Structure formats: structure tokens, C-alpha cells
Structure 1
Amino acid sequence: MTKITDVQNLEINTLGHKFSKGLALFLPGIFLLGFNLGTGSVTAMAKAGAEYGMALLWTIIASCLCTFFMINIYSRFTLVTGETALQAFKKHIHPVVGIYFIVALTLGVCGSVMGVMGIVSEICYEWSKTAVEGGIYPIYFASAFSALVFFIFWNGKTQFFERSLAVIVAIMSASFLVNFFIMMPPPMDILRGLIPSVPQVDPSSDGGPLLVIASMVGTTVFSGLFIIRTTLVKEAGWTLKDMKTQRNDAIVSVTLMFVISAAIMAAAAGTLYAENIGLSRASQMITLLEPLAGSFATSIFAIGIISAGVSSQFPNVLMLPWLLCDYSGAERNMTLPKYRVMVFAISLLGLVVPLIGARPVFVMIASQAMNAIILPITVMCILYLSNRKDLMGAYKNSLLSNIFLTGILLFSLFTSFIGVRGVWQMIAA
């Protein structure tokens, strides 16, 4: 009897080891998914679905394809050279380029932190009204979630962040997918959304369809994603022999990115757009969805939004210290006091929107749209580096790769233009 128990225990331990090993292969991709699919994505996709139905589904497809290609091209550079993106910018282009990305991405992240906590706290406030008369004020939720993120950061280990994100991303993914089947729009609307078009709608107070497109691209094809990806690839110890592992990891990440983004858009299209309501406040996702979709669907959607917000805050607050470590070549020891002070200060930005009563959707859409402005320089840098034979050798870009990169560059220049124009219209309105 003891022998059988020992064998069973050995099998359980072996299965557990295999599962942990298998999960570890995809942790960099899961981390990126949690990074990219935050409340900014939820807001952009929900606004697109609420105001234009499934007409902008093609934007998600185009953005995910661009993201997949950029993840692979940046990862391949690190697999070949052993250098991260910031190290390469500093060494092979100019130190100022590396500093530019640190400053630009940090500013973008600060805006995102404010918008994320603003939306999450407003959603929780509306949701709490179903249990507590008058609801619990947003500032309490913002403080609690900011404290939770800082507590997990205090552990200081990347693997701990990644495993925490894996759980939260799983909850987020399940919530939005369940919601999709509850509130799915007509299949023909989904198919029509695959055809590229820009809705002929007068610009609203929130900037019109062009700004929404720019924010969708800005939140999906995010420069910080590609730069942090090279750090994760190097930290994972991947080399050229892991090219297939890297590609599979990217496929899983981007596929889930598309499915979840499309599910969010479809949920808003099947309810808010169907009733011609639109979306201008985060609280509408709760107060207006309930009579249209029922309390169960509303609760599932709220859980998804909260999970998305918390998952994106982890890498958001870590962005500055990670970039500084990467640029200087220092060990990523997040337990150092200077990094804890940085993260604490950035975490406090999450209290700004609830304290001053700003419009979180405005902050979030503008922040995501402005991210698109950084993208053209990100593309130009890797276009230059990946074509240098002295760095890439036999892995230098092919003609097809250069054609794709040039296409992404033109696409990014277009979205940068409409992002600036849309934000200006929104401010001037």
C-alpha cells in the first residue's frame, strides 16, 4: 500500500513539475498579455464597440498582426545578438535614443496609471451600489488596488509578478469570453467588421472614429511591449535554438490578445451600440449594461475590467525601474530602495483621477492615442538594427521582412497623425 502511495505521489509531483515547466515557457507571453490588455484596451475596445458596433474589428486584426511581427523581429534581434532593445539603441544608434524611450514610455505609463485606476475605481463604485446604499467612494477602491499592486511588487521577483499575472489574466480572459457569448452581436455584423472602413460619423466630443482607431492601435501595437519583450527574452535565457519556443509564445499571446479584444468590442456592440447609447463614462459599462444584459453579465464584465486594470498596473509601475536597469546594464533588483520609491510614486498617480474627479475615459483614450506617436521611431530603430549585417549576420532582414516593416512604419505614421489630430479635437471640443 505504501509503495502504491509513493508511486502516486511521484506521478503527481512529475505532473506538477511538467505543468510548471510548461507554464514557464509561456510566462513571458502571459506577462505581455497582461501588460497589453489592460483597462486601456478595455476602454478603447468598449468605446469602439459602443459607438461603431463591429465596424472597427479590422483595426484589431491589423494591430494584432503588426504586434506579432514586431514581437518576433525584436525578439529575434535579442536571440541573435544577446542585447536588449535599449542596450542596442544606446550602443549602436545613440544614447539619446535610449533616453528618449525611457522618458516617452514613462510619461505614457504615468497617464495610463491615472486612467486605469480612474476607470477601475469608477466601475467598482457603480458596482458597489448593488450591495451598499450609495456605493463605496472611488478613492477607497483606487487606494486598495494601488496598495495591492505595490504589495505584490514588494516581493521583488519577476517570476512572482509573472505567476501573479497568469492568474489574473486567466480570470480576465474567462470573464470577457463568457460575456461575449452572453452579449454577442449578429454574426453578419462581425463579418462586415472584417472589411477595412472608417465609419462616416460626425466627430463627437471624444474625437470621433479616427481617435478611437488611434487609441486601439496605440494600446495594441505598444512600443513598450516590444522593448520589454527583449528584456524578458534575455532574462528567460533563450537563444537561437529557442526560436520556435519564442514564436509559439508570441502566437499564444497575440491570439489571446485578438480574441479578448474582439470579445470586449462585441459585448459593447451587442448592448450599448444596439441601443444607440454610446460610451463617454466608465460607469456606463455597469449602469447601462445591467438592464440590457442582466446582472450576471454585468458582474462578469466588471470582474473582467477589474482584472484587466490590476494586470496592467503591474508592468506599468515597473516600467521606469526596468528601463533604467536595462539602459545601464544593472541587475534588476527591485528590492533596492530607489526602485521602491519610484514604484511607490508612480502608484500614487492612481489616486489622481478619483481625487480631482477627472473623466477617466478621456484620460485613458488620450493616453492610448498618444502612445501611437512613439511607434514610428520604434519601427525605424529596429528597421535599422535588423538590417545591419555586422550585428545580425545570416539573420539579417529578408526583403519580405523589410516590406512588412515599411508597411508597419507607414501605418504607424498614419495613426500618429490621426492620434494627434483626435486628441486636439477632443481638447478643443
Structure 2
Amino acid sequence: MTKLKTETVKIKQKASWSVLLGAAFLMATSAIGPGFLTQTTVFTQELAASFAFVILISLVIDVFAQLNVWRIITVSGLRGQEIANKVLPGLGVFLAILIVIGGLAFNIGNVAGAGLGLNAMVGIDPVTGAIISAAFAIFIFLIKEAGKAMDKIAQLAGFVMIILMIYVAFITSPPVGEAIVNTFKPEQISIFAIVTLVGGTVGGYITFAGGHRLLDAGIKGVESIPEVTKSAVIGIAVTGIMRIALFLAVLGVVSKGLAIDPSNPSASVFQLAAGNIGYRMFGVIMWAAAITSVVGAAYTSVSFIRSFSPVIEKYHNWIIILFILVSTLTFAFIGRPVNVLLIVGALNALILPIALGTLLIAANRKDIMGNYKHPLWLTITGVLVVCIMSYLGVMTLIEQLPLLFK
């Protein structure tokens, strides 16, 4: 009997670790999408080694935002929109609308990125590649154990991207010493780069991807805090490794004075670094980054409306599939609405302070958190992130608004 109990505990621990790792990689791979690849390449061209400082600031904001959000969600046992509605009736609905619109708009770009990835990998037409990729993403949610399948695919894609990015970073021989110096003492600072990178990696739905996945897997309550923290830290570490490796790969190419093709900057970097094989490697990275972002955006966006109706809760997998279909059809027949994507990018940066600010208020409400005491250091750092991102997000939104009417 004791042996049976021991085996049961081991199975539960293995399942729990798989979920924790899956949530970490879901957050990390959702943050590393096609937009991130392009943004990193473009900003490294513009800022060179100084982009290391932008990565540092974005990682610091990432740490404080994610640790707060994951902990508050799992301790309360409520999704982000449910917490927001308890803080102020109707706020959860407003937050859900912002996140679903932002998620849908960015998913058009994610689907397009998947098509471009297959095009670079095997030469398939981008639109056809996007449709094939969407079919793959839909298949995940048709599987009975969709959550487990999503976890495994996120982990596999994450490992593949890390290995390939580190390899390219190694062969380009970047000036690492210069990058380290500029991490703490940058020659130039770009506020726009910071807002764009933060908005794209912890803005919108991405902030909640891991926390909501843990809830769906039954991981919640004060007793789960150590596991939740571990999962969040792994996710942030994976995101950081990917950011740094890609930055160093681009920096290596830029520092040699090689001309990067502005029509497809990320692909150009990999081609310049490793020739035709490098271009194929870019295709693998782009597809892996895009398909995990398609899955993450659809899953997390729909998780924000699941609690609004028993019908949505019952058929949420089919609504996720519909979400992916709408994104794919929009790209196939209309293309990528660039101006809309730009304005939604700025809105995504504003979602973070709204969402995090709401959750920090909830962290001190007994009717939401029970007897749990939220650490003072997390509250202070969380408030700082809210203030900084509110200011920077508004400034960026004001800059981007005119583009919507061009």
C-alpha cells in the first residue's frame, strides 16, 4: 500500500512539474512571436550594443509584472477578468474586450508569421503556409487533452528556438564585451524601443497566459506559491535567453557592417550569418515563434470570456478554433492591417498597467484574497511598473494615433 501511495505521489509530482513547465513555456513562447523577431532586429540595427539596456529594462519590468500577476491569480483562484469585476463591476468586461481585440489583431500577424516561416523553411506560398499552420493550431484544440498537447508543443518549440538562436549568436561572433558595458551604461536610450518591447512581451494577453494555464490545470491557493514562483521564473528566464541570443546574433552581423535587407530584416540576419542554411533556420525559428504565439493568443484571449457564460465555458475549445479561423481568414483575404496593428501595439502597452494596477488593488482585498498577505516588495515594484508603463504607454499612444488615420 505504501509503495502504491509513493508511486501515486510521484505521478502527481511529474504531472504538476509538466504543467508548471508548460505554463512557463506558454508565456515565454507567446512573448517571442514574429513581431519580437522583427523588433529586435530593427532596434539592434538602430541602437547597436545599446539595445542591451532595453533588454535589461524590459526583463526587470517583466519579472515584477509576471511575479505579481501569477501569484495574485493563483492565490485568488480567479482569472484576471473575474478579479477585475470584483474590484469594480464592469472592469473585467472592459479588460476582456481590450485583450480579445488586441489578441485578435496580433494573431493576424502571428498567422502571417507562420506563413512566412514555412515559406523560408520549405518554399511554400506564405498564404498557403498560414492556412496549413492554422490547421495545425486548430488540431491541437481538437485533441481531448488539448492543454497537455499545448504544453508539450510550447516546450518543444521553445527548446528548438533557444538552440538555433544560440548557435547563430555563436557563429556571428558578436562584441559581447561592448554589449555588457552598454547593458548598464548605454550610449543611447530609446523610450519607444522600451515600450514596444515591453508591450510585445508582457502586454495584453501575454501577462495572463501562464497564470490562466495554471488555473485551468487546477494549480491554485496559497500552498501553490512556491511552484507558481518557480514556473514564472522559468518562463522569464526562457524569454530572457531568447531575447539575448537573438540580440547577440543581430549585433554580430551589424558590427561587421553587413547590409541587412529592410524588407525582411530577421531573415536577412540569419542568411548573412549562415548562408542558405541560416535562411532555413530562420524559417524554423519564425514558424516555431509564430505557431506558439497563435496558440497562446487564442487560448489566453478566449480564457478572458469563458467565465461570462456557461455556454462559452462549455464550448471554449470551439471558440478558440473560431478565433484562429477569423485571424487566418483576415490575413488570407485582407492581409495585415499595419495601422491597426500599430495602434493595438500601443494599446497593449496600456493594458499592462490597467491589469496589473487592478490586481494590486485586489491583492489587498480580503473578500478576494482571504487571509493572504501580499509581499510589500512585490506591491512596491508592481506600483512602479504601473506608473512607468502608464506614462510611457500614453506617450507612445499619442505618437501612434495619427498613423491610424493615414
- TM-score normalized with structure 1 length: 0.81
After superposition, the C-alpha distances for 1:363-389 in whole angstroms (9 at most, x for unaligned) are 766543431021221122022111224
Percent identity, aligned pairs only? 17
Post-superposition offset of 1:328: 4.3
Residue 407 (1) aligns with residue 402 (2): no
User: What secondary structure sits across from 2:252 in the alignment?
Assistant: helix
**Is it true that 1:152 corresponds to 2:140 in the alignment?**
yes
Aligned 1:323-402 pairs, distance under 5 A: 323-328=304-309, 332-333=313-314, 336=315, 340=318, 343-353=321-331, 355-356=333-334, 358=336, 367-392=344-369, 395-402=372-379
CA distance in 1, matches of 2:293, 2:302: 16
In the alignment, which residue of structure 2 is the partner of 1:176?
165
Alignment of 1:141-220 (within 5 A): 141-156=129-144, 157-195=146-184, 197=186, 199=188, 209-220=190-201
Aligned with residue 54 of structure 1, among 34, 49, 55 = 49
The CA distance in 2 between the partners of 1:330 and 1:234, in whole Å, is 19
Partner Cα distance (2:162, 2:12) in 1: 25
Alignment of 1:2-151 (within 5 A): 22-94=17-89, 96-126=90-120, 128=122, 135-151=123-139
CA distance in 2, matches of 1:62, 1:72: 16
Partner of 1:265 in structure 2? 247
Say which is worse superposed, 382-391 or 189-198, in terms of deviation: 189-198
1:253 Cα offset (Å):
0.9
> Where in structure 2 are the equivalents of 1:259-338 lying within 5 Å?
259-272=241-254, 274-275=256-257, 277=259, 280-281=262-263, 283-287=264-268, 289-328=270-309, 332-333=313-314, 336=315
- Checking the alignment, whether the CA contact within 8 Å between 1:87 and 1:329 is kept in structure 2 is no
Is the CA contact 2:47–2:188 (under 8 Å) kept in the aligned structure 1? yes
Gaps of 5+ in 1: 1-13, 129-134, 201-208
Query: Any idea what the Cα deviations from partners look like across 1:263-306, whole Å, max 9, x if unmatched?
Result: 1122222224643646643x333246424442333332321111
Determine which structure has more spread, i.e. the larger CA radius of gyration: 1
What amino acid is aligned across from residue 327 of structure 2 in structure 1?
Answer: L
| Aligned counterparts of 2:98 and 2:353: Cα–Cα separation in 1 | 13
Alpha carbons of structure 1 residues 78 and 185: separation in structure 2 relative to 1, 3 Å? same
Q: Which residue matches 2:214?
A: 233
Distance 1:89 1:359, change over 3 A: closer
Give, in whole Å, the separation in 1 of the partners of 2:68 and 2:22. Answer: 19
After TM superposition, give the deviation of residue 390 of structure 1 in Å: 4.8
For residues 17-72 of structure 1, the C-alpha deviation after alignment (integer angstroms, 9 at most, x for no partner) is 98666433422212222222222222222222233223122222222222222222
Instruction: Tell me if structure 2 keeps the 8 A contact 1:115–1:363.
Output: no
What does the per-residue CA deviation read over 1:307-361, in whole Å, with 9 as the maximum and x for residues that have no partner? 010111112222343221134477854xx3x75256335434235445445587x
8 Å contact from structure 2 (residues 19, 214) kept in 1:
no
Q: Is the 8 A contact 2:209 2:296 kept in 1?
A: no
| Conservation of the 8 A alpha-carbon contact between 2:23 and 2:209 | no
By how many angstroms is 1:422 displaced?
A: 4.2
Aligned to 1:242: 224
* Matched AA of 1:236: A
**Stretch of structure 1 that moved more, 386-395 or 139-148:** 386-395
Contact (CA 8 Å) 2:82, 2:307: kept in 1 or not? yes
Counterpart CA distance in 1 for 2:261 and 2:211 is: 36
Tell me, yes or no, if the aligned pair for 1:102 and 1:324 is still in contact at 8 Å. yes
Displacement of 1:112: 1.0
CA–CA separation in structure 2 for the residues paired with 1:255 and 1:22: 17
| Cα pair 2:161 2:288 within 8 Å, conserved | yes
The alpha-carbon deviation at position 408 of structure 1 amounts to 0.4
Q: Which moved more, 1:324-333 or 1:96-105?
A: 324-333
TM-score normalized by the length of structure 2? 0.85
| CA 1:350–1:275: 2 relative to 1, 3 Å | farther
Alpha-carbon distance change, 287 to 82 in structure 1, aligned in 2, over 3 angstroms = closer
Matched residues, number: 397
Counterpart CA distance in 2 for 1:416 and 1:180 is 31
Query: Which is worse superposed, 362-371 or 83-92?
Result: 362-371
* Contact 2:134 2:324 survives alignment (8 Å): no
CA contact (8 A) 1:124 1:141 kept: yes
**Which secondary structure does the structure 2 equivalent of 1:372 belong to?**
helix
Cα deviations by residue, 1:150-169 (Å, 9 ceiling, x for unpaired) = 12122252222212222222
RMSD: 3.2
